[in-house]
Structure 1
């Protein structure tokens, strides 16, 4: 024991570092244990996720606090140590610092949350996790058409919330406006065509319209924005080749592709049932005149 005591007195720095490492390991073990406990005890996924992230943030704070206490020797020097530490590592770790700041900003301001569909830094997808450095997304689009998953999981630095716009498809108002064009041939019964398109839109979109009205009222109360038309609307344009119907409607942000399929399918069926009164148009080309080309053969004689 005496030898151990003399050795400890001879190497106080090693002893201090060992104590520091023991405290850090103990904190991480406690965090891991509490996270597992919350995962078992909390039935709600959203509450379990937020609680685990909160414990993780508290753990990081305690690690920073213990580190500063050990290396400054006094908790009163906390502010000074933070200033010196920040000045020393800002240049080399600025991206990491910005990412950590971004994670706090995301949680406090609620820029987005797990389950939201967002587009950031040119990448669109559903948020599946947010940690202290990265936002993890299930990618949408790229080589896959419409709003379908590509199958790639993307990790994006939280620092990007400070570097550009964040498009949120689901926050406050989980609906988007969509539209498509329908070419109707000249000579068709335009009034009948209008009746078909409007009736199909009202039948297929009634649930979305009802839900979106109450949601949009909340948006109007929260933001400085005017009231909007959420009922399906039809605009008609006369072109050189056909009468163009433009149907604009509101839809759940996750069901754009499927809803457009239902509308096109039902409208197509009802147009066929008109027995030629309404006909879809297609691009046609008319050749007015074919120029005559005269070819003269130059014959030369050999002497």
Structure 2
């Protein structure tokens, strides 16, 4: 013990650093124990996730306060210590500071949360985690068509919330407008085509239409935005080759692909049942046979 006391007296700086590191390790262990306890005790997934993130953020705040108070020697000097500390690392840790500030901005302003489908910095996917530095997403698109998972997990710095637009597919209004185009021949019965398309769309999309109407009212009341029609609408365009039927409708953002497949399938079946009164058009090239030409050559000398 005497040797330890002597070493402490002779090496006060080293002792202070070791003491500080032990304090940090102790706080980190407490954070992990608290997270494990919550993981076992809280059964609800959302509540468990939020409580663990809250413990993590609280632990970081405690570590920062302990660091400033420990090295400044007096809690009254905390403001001065914060100023000096910030000035020293502002340039070297600029991206890290922006990421931490971005995480606070995300949680406070509720830019997005785990479970939301967003597009940020050209990357689209479902948010599966938001920590103090990164937003983790399950990527959608790229080499796969429509809104399917690519299988890649993307980690994106939270600093990007300050650097560009963020497209949220599910916040406040978990529906999106989609459309499909049907080319119909000029010889078809236009009224029958209109009737069957609207009927099928109304039946398939009735659930989305009913749910979206009440939620759209909340969006209109919350934001400065005009009211919009959420019922399926049909517009007709005359082209050089066919009559184009454009169906515009509202759909759950996670069921866009399956809904479009169902619409195409049911419309195709209904058109077949019209027995030729309605037929789909396609771009075709008709080759006309050139008639044979007989050429007889005569000898002028004869």
| TM-score, normalisation: structure 1 | 0.93
SS of corresponding position for 1:251: strand
Corresponding position: 1:105 with 2:102: no
1: CA distance, partners of 2:82 / 2:98: 16
* 2:25 match: 25
Aligned to 1:55: 55
1:44 aligns with 2:53: no
**2:165: which partner in 1?**
165
Q: Which residues in structure 2 correspond to 1:119-134 (within 5 Å)?
A: 119-134=119-134
CA distance in 1, matches of 2:217, 2:211: 11
Residue 295 of structure 1: aligned partner: none
Asked if 1:77 is matched to 2:77, the reply is yes
For residue 192 of structure 2, what is the aligned residue in structure 1?
Answer: 192
Please name the residue that 2:277 is paired with: 277
Distance 2:4 2:285 in 1: 99
Q: Secondary structure at the match of 1:225?
A: coil
Q: Which residue of 2 aligns with 1:294?
A: none
Quote the residue 1:268 is aligned against.
268
- Mean alpha-carbon deviation: is it higher for 78-87 or for 192-201? 78-87
* Distance in structure 2 (CA, Å) of the matches to 1:18 and 1:69: 16
Q: Which TM-score applies when normalising by structure 2?
A: 0.94
TM-aligned CA deviation for residue 284 of structure 1: 2.9
Stretch moving more, 134-143 or 76-85: 76-85
**For residues 285 and 24 of structure 1, what CA distance do their matches in structure 2 show?**
76
Gaps of 5+ in 2: 291-302
**Residue 120 of structure 1: how far off its partner (Å):** 0.1
Q: Which moved more, 1:276-285 or 1:199-208?
A: 276-285
CA distance in 2, matches of 1:289, 1:237: 33
Within a 5 Å distance, the mapping from 1:285-300 to structure 2 comes to 285=285
| 2:294 aligned residue | none
Shift of 1:286: 5.4
Q: 1:285 deviation in Å?
A: 3.6
How much has 1:247 moved relative to structure 2? 0.2
Please give the alpha-carbon distance, in whole angstroms, between the structure 1 residues aligned to 2:84 and 2:149. Answer: 46
Distance in 1, Cα, partners of 2:113 & 2:2:
58
**2:139 aligned with 1:139, yes or no?**
yes
Cα RMSD of the aligned pairs, angstroms, is 1.3
Partner of 2:226: 226
2:34 corresponds in structure 1 to: 34
